[in-house]
Amino acid sequence: MAKFFEYKGLPLVRKGNEIYFGRMGDPEVVYMQLSGSRDEGGVSCATKVRLYRMLTDENVPPMERITKTAEKQNLFEALDLACDWIAPRG
């Protein structure tokens, strides 16, 4: 099994401007879409991140899987909210 980068104990997988946060075996994951960026010292930094909390149940129609949405101004704020949405409490 492939080892993914983790943030606060949950997998964080990026492909292009899309990020999935969470375990696909859990009831929900967070899908993030990086839709704006700026260059800071040669590094591209997100300036607009759309978040979608989604059910992982494939029996639910795709458009009904989205349970919550939000938009944040940077990746740190987006990950912080994503953790609130799906990270286990303990």
DSSP 36-78: EEEEETTEEEEEEEEEEEEE--TTS-GGGSEEEEEEESSHHHH
36 pLDDT band, cuts 50/70/90, is: confident
**pLDDT for position 90:** 55
**How high does pLDDT run on average in the chain?**
90
> What is the pLDDT averaged over residues 14-35?
94
Has residue 39 got a pLDDT over 90? no
Has residue 1 got a pLDDT over 80? no
Give the separation between CA 82 and CA 49, rounded to whole angstroms.
Answer: 11
Has residue 89 got a pLDDT over 80? no
**pLDDT for position 38:** 84
Has residue 24 got a pLDDT over 60? yes
DSSP 23: -
> What is the pLDDT averaged over residues 46-52?
92
